[in-house]
Structure 1
Amino acid sequence: MDTESCMDGWIYDKSVFTSTIITEWDLVCGSRTLKQMAQSIYMAGVLVGAIVFGSLSDKFGRKSLLIWSCLQMAITGSCAAFSSNFTMYCVFRFLTGMALSGINLNCASLSVEWTPTKLRAAVGMVIGYSYSIGQFILAGLAYVIPDWRWLQLAVSVPYFIFFFYGWWFTESARWLATAGKLNQALKEMQKVARINGRKEEGDKLSIEDLRASLQKEMSSAKSTHTAADLVRTQSVRRISCCLCFVWFSTSFAYYGLAMDLQNFGVSIYLIQVVYGAVDIPAKLIGFFMISFIGRRVTQASALILAGLAILANIFVPQDLQTLRTLLAVFGKGCLAASFNCAFLYTGELYPTVIRQTGMGFVNTLARVGGIVAPLVQMTSEYLPSLPLIIYGAAPIVSGITTCFLPETRNMPLPDTIEDVERQRRSRVITDVGREDKVPLKASRLEPLKEII
């Protein structure tokens, strides 16, 4: 049947939002697909950012790239709020997505590389909760600020503050050591020692001590590391392959479940609050499992349970919306715990010399999962339950794949690729009491081991 385009414009429902990009540029009818394209462009930016900032951070350091990412987020996010056309908006959203990857990757690496083994799980949980708190804040801001331009500006301007106080961040001493910058590594370690109230122990450390204890890392720093190192040796290759499944399926199922939950007829504000609320118990349970059972079991359990929850919804009648919503929320909580564990687990599996490259690589796969997830919805035209089958099967398969990863609980962080291979051969868990924040092995440096 032939249709005629509207010649007199459109009247929009402004009961929830007074202004959106849809009402701003009339992304309806023949232009309705541009709304999904804008989101895909943003996710493409996150993907590109994971690749770019992942490798650059291993070359130029975590702190500098984190500061730059905050500045880029502030500028491009603010510029997006003042976009005069849809193309300009998409360009700035792409750059904002890149900055988001830079912030996520470098925050994760800095927290892993500066935190003692026994506290890594707790720090990871705190960082995970910051994301949950952000979901609550975003829901409140969206309710108070229903205009998209002002909302975009409200979530972008704070990054100028993050940029300015980011200069006081401490660069990773592990990265500085493996990069051969011993003088700066010594200064950063002594700075942390003062902050921790261990100034005397920090003052005992000298360049000669570092050079003697970090001879292996110094020799590794002389060689150039590339993305090819992610698959060069047997152990690292296995780690990379398994983590590809973990990150892709977690993101894939997460966004797929989010889109399915939006079809339940629940308020958009309530969905945002529920998404943040379910993270609290999920990440807390994940924290205890990570700390007392291990990373591998936690990762596998979270993925398999999420997949089973998604698949269970296939057999629940449409009129039982409460049960369907509970299963979806449970699955979302499991995926949130999976994300939380994956950040910590990945940082502990990859050695310092290629940690950011590895984090960037797996984050790239996660963004691919986020991009592919909406496309799976189109398979419902052939079989209504097919999207849920695909969304549920992916995390179950990756959960099984996780069993091929080594356990890192109570293990010191590897600094070189050779460390990873050595750990595979030995399969010996190092006592937590002997683990360093940076790999200081000389006995004369023992007092410093508790200050970093």
Structure 2
Amino acid sequence: MQASDYDDVTTFLGEWGSFQKRIMLLLCISAIPNGLSLFSIVFLADTPAHHCAIPSNANISAEWINYSIPLEEDKGVMRYNKCTRYKLDVIQRLSDNRSVPGIDVNVTEIEQESCKDGWEYDKSIYVSTIVSEWDLVCSDAWKVPVITSTCFFGILAGSFISGQLSDRFGRKIVLFGTIGLHTLFTFILILSTSWFMFSALFFFVGMGGLNTFLIAFVLGAEILTPCLRTIYSTVGISIFFAIGYMLLPLAAFFIRDWRMLLIAINVPGVFYLPLWRLIPESPRWLLSQGRVEEAEAILRAAARKNRVTAPEVIFQPLQTENKTEKLSRHNVGDLVKSKNIRWITIMLSFVWIAVSIGYFALSLNSSNLHGNPFLNCFLSAAVEVPGIILSWPLLRSCSRRLCLFATLFLGGVLPLFTLLIPRDLKLVSIALEMMGKFGFSVAFTIVYPFTAELYPTVLRNTAVGTCSMAARLGSIAAPYFLYLGTYSKSLPYILMGGLCVLGGLLSLLLPETYGMPLPETLDHMQTIQRFKKTQNSNTLSGDTTAVENDSVF
């Protein structure tokens, strides 16, 4: 049964009844825990100001203690060196000899050594982070991007598994399974006793994290009526994600200990699990599995909620026949089976990688910007709201390909101009980064429905999950893009900008889905630009000119 048939059959429900309101609200709320937890590493693993510790039993006079650590320039300000100190035995000997630093002795001529007695951390911002607890600084600073990437590796694995599981076993059971997995392992994460243990557990937290958003996105797109899909897939679920993201710096501002912060951001997930009874399975998915009675039961319950009368027979036998394709017979291999689908998958995956690198790099960089880290993170979250709102009219009236190109170009190029801004104009640099984040927010909001529109129902969740898996490669790389900034400030921006512009150009080659109904089978998929001449009569673009105005997003 084609998308237009399904939408025609279910018109008796109406557009905006109690059933649609409840489903849309509940699925949107599921995005709040995602927004809270996804960027929590910004505060959990932030690096406080630090310098080498001087042990209390060192027998060094107070006058010499202030000169025991070299000074260095950091962003135009003189600060204590973070990783070295002057040799303590020399300092002790000079202190015993009553030498005066700067007068009797030139301290800069004393040989330096590493922080053998650990570090002292500034606690004016954080009581503790995983960095200060396990000394992930100096020679061990590489462990911080590894920890961040581990979470995204978990999301990568979860994207690969959850998409196929939800196409095979249903959207609902996998949705709540990923929420439960994320909630359970976040609580276990609090018990970590080392950075390695934290990383291992963080992998499983990632497996259940952002994948909840993906499954809820597909579930809502399949249950809601055509006019509501655009609202849900852009303004709806994305706004609630941004709300969760904005709540993160608020929670971190009041809770400065990393373990207590984890408890606070995990509470919404606990309260969401009991909503199992209120969210139904996708009738579209049930129909693709041949479970017609269950699909009709859900729609009849929806009709009662909306106070309308359902037809005696909702789906005619001919409408539910699917002799050639069933969801259980399809897997991720079908995404590269034919030449056309393979090229769509490859190009779309690169676009997702480009969007992901830009979005996550700028998001994770918020704590490194000048000024208050909590305010910067809040601005990084808040700037997504106008981007999400703008994406709604763009999806309703503009080409998907042109929108993706424009927003990727904007997000990749604008942050480059921060390299040209004088050091004393720090607010201008922050503004340019936020404008770049705005561009990536719009691009991310558009790429989700664009991907769902390109693939058929029998592969839609697998396709979105696989593209999200490709995006995770970008999010895994994002922390290392930032790490390259320790060697060259311009390198992360140049690499990110180049990838995003290339991704935008590739998006122009993808099929246009604006004004087209959702494809139900592989034969309904459109061809990309270079294969237009080879498309056969079974493709959707060859026989649906009459329904071009029946936009589904």
Q: TM-score, normalised by structure 1?
A: 0.88
Matched with 2:227 is: 118
Q: Distance in 2 between matches of 1:434 and 1:246?
A: 23
| Aligned match of 2:275 | 165
Alpha-carbon separation, structure 2, partners of 1:292 and 1:147: 47
The alignment status of 1:24 with 2:98, answered yes or no, reads no
Match of 2:547 among 430, 434, 437: 430
Determine whether 1:358 maps to 2:463. yes
What is the correspondence of 1:50-449 to structure 2 with a 5 Å cutoff? Answer: 50-124=159-233, 125-198=235-308, 200-201=309-310, 203-206=311-314, 209-216=315-322, 219-221=324-326, 224-377=329-482, 379=484, 384-421=489-526, 422-426=539-543, 428=545, 430=547
One-letter amino acid of the structure 2 residue matched with residue 423 of structure 1: L
Aligned-partner SS, 1:27: coil
Structure 1 residues 6 and 267 mapped into 2: Cα distance closer, same or farther (>3 Å)? same
Alignment CA distance shift 1:237-1:267 (3 Å): same
Residue by residue over 1:181-220, the C-alpha shift from the partner in whole angstroms, topping out at 9 and shown as x without a partner, is 222112122222233332x12x4235xx34321213x541
State the Cα distance separating 1:290 from its structure 2 match. Answer: 1.0
Structure 1's 177 and 312: CA in aligned 2 closer, same or farther, altered over 3 A? same
Match of 1:13 in 2: 122
Taking a change above 3 Å as real, the CA distance of residues 160 and 376 of structure 1, as seen in their structure-2 partners, is closer
Quickly say closer, same or farther: Cα 1:411–1:205, change in 2 above 3 A. Answer: farther
The Cα of 1:146 is off from its aligned counterpart by 1.0
Structure (1 or 2) with the larger CA radius of gyration: 2
8 Å Cα contact 2:292-2:320 kept in structure 1: no
- Are the structure 2 counterparts of residues 191 and 238 from structure 1 closer, same or farther at C-alpha, using a change threshold of 3 Å? farther
CA distance in 1, matches of 2:521, 2:484: 44
Instruction: Give the secondary structure class of the aligned counterpart of 1:11.
Output: strand
Separation (CA, whole Å) in 2 of partners of 1:158 and 1:212: 44
> Residue 159 of structure 1 aligns to which amino acid in structure 2?
G
8 Å contact kept, 1:345–1:408 = yes
Following superposition, the deviation at residue 432 of structure 1 comes to 5.7
Gaps of 5+ in 2: 1-83, 85-110, 527-538
Mapped to 1, the partners of 2:299 and 2:316 lie a distance apart of 11
CA distance in 2, matches of 1:23, 1:133: 29
SS in 1 for 2:466: helix
CA distance in 2 between partners of 1:192 and 1:420 (Å): 30
Letter of the structure 1 residue corresponding to residue 282 of structure 2 = S
Q: Distance in 2 between matches of 1:177 and 1:404?
A: 33
Q: Which residue is 1:440 aligned to?
A: none
Q: Is the 8 A contact 2:516 2:551 kept in 1?
A: no
User: How many angstroms does 1:75 deviate by?
Assistant: 0.7
Deviation at 1:379, TM superposition (A): 4.8
Question: Which letter does structure 2 place at the counterpart of 1:204?
Answer: E
Count of matched residue pairs = 431
* Superimposed CA distance per residue, residues 120-144 of structure 1 (whole angstroms, 9 cap, x where no aligned partner): 2211211111111112211111111
Deviations 1:351-378 (A, max 9, x none): 1111111111111111111111232345
Question: Does the aligned pair in 2 maintain the 1:352–1:416 contact within 8 Å?
Answer: yes
In 2, the alpha carbon distance for the partners of 1:132 and 1:157 equals 17
Q: Which residue of 1 aligns with 2:80?
A: none
> Structure 1 or 2: larger helix share?
1
Q: Which has the higher contact order (CA 8 A, sep 6+)?
A: 1
Conservation of the 8 A alpha-carbon contact between 2:355 and 2:408: yes
Does 2:148 align with 1:39? yes
TM-score using structure 2 length: 0.73
Cα distance in 2 for residues equivalent to 1:63 and 1:186: 17
Displacement of 1:410 in angstroms is: 3.1
Question: 2:13 maps to which residue?
Answer: none
Q: Which moved more, 1:412-421 or 1:188-197?
A: 188-197
CA spacing shift, 1:409–1:197, aligned 2, 3 Å:
farther
One-letter amino acid of the counterpart of residue 189, structure 2: A
Aligned AA for 2:250?
G
**1:448 paired residue number:** none
The alpha carbon displacement at 1:244 in A equals 0.8
Aligned AA (1:36) = P
- Which residue identity is paired with 1:416? T
Query: Greater shift after overlay, 86-95 or 310-319?
Result: 310-319
Q: Do the aligned residues in 1 keep the contact of 2:149 with 2:477 (CA within 8 Å)?
A: no
The CA distance in 1 between the partners of 2:501 and 2:510, in whole Å, is 15
Question: What is the match of residue 443 of structure 1?
Answer: none
**Could you say what secondary structure the match of 1:100 adopts?**
coil
The 2-side partners of 1:362 and 1:306 are apart by 20
Q: Distance in 2 between matches of 1:61 and 1:210?
A: 23
Q: Is the 8 A contact 2:327 2:458 kept in 1?
A: no
- Give the 3 Å change call, closer, same or farther, for CA 344–373 of structure 1 in structure 2: same
For 2:489 and 2:445, the matched residues in 1 are separated by 31
Contact 1:106 1:356 in 2 (8 A): yes
In the alignment, residue 415 of structure 1 is paired with which amino acid? Answer: E
Structure 1 Cα separation of the partners of residues 248 and 367 of structure 2: 17
Shift of 1:331: 0.8
CA contact (8 A) 1:235 1:420 kept: no
Root-mean-square deviation (CA, aligned residues, Å) is: 2.4
Q: CA deviation at 1:333?
A: 0.6
Note closer, same or farther for the CA distance 1:13–1:383 as it changes in structure 2 (3 Å cut): closer
* Letter of the structure 1 residue corresponding to residue 173 of structure 2: S
CA deviation vs aligned residue, 1:72-127 (integer Å, no higher than 9, x gap): 11111111112233333222211110001330221111121122222222112111
Q: Percent identity over the alignment?
A: 30
Q: CA separation in 2, counterparts of 1:391 and 1:176? A: 42
Q: Given residue 384 of structure 2, which amino acid in structure 1 is its aligned partner?
A: D
Compared CA separation, residues 54 and 27, structure 1 to 2 (3 A): same
Partner Cα distance (2:371, 2:504) in 1: 30
C-alpha distance in structure 1 between counterparts of 2:283 and 2:397, whole Å: 28
Give the direction of change, closer, same or farther, for the CA distance of 1:291–1:365 in structure 2 (3 Å limit). same
SS in 1 for 2:459: helix
5+ residue gaps, structure 1, are 438-452
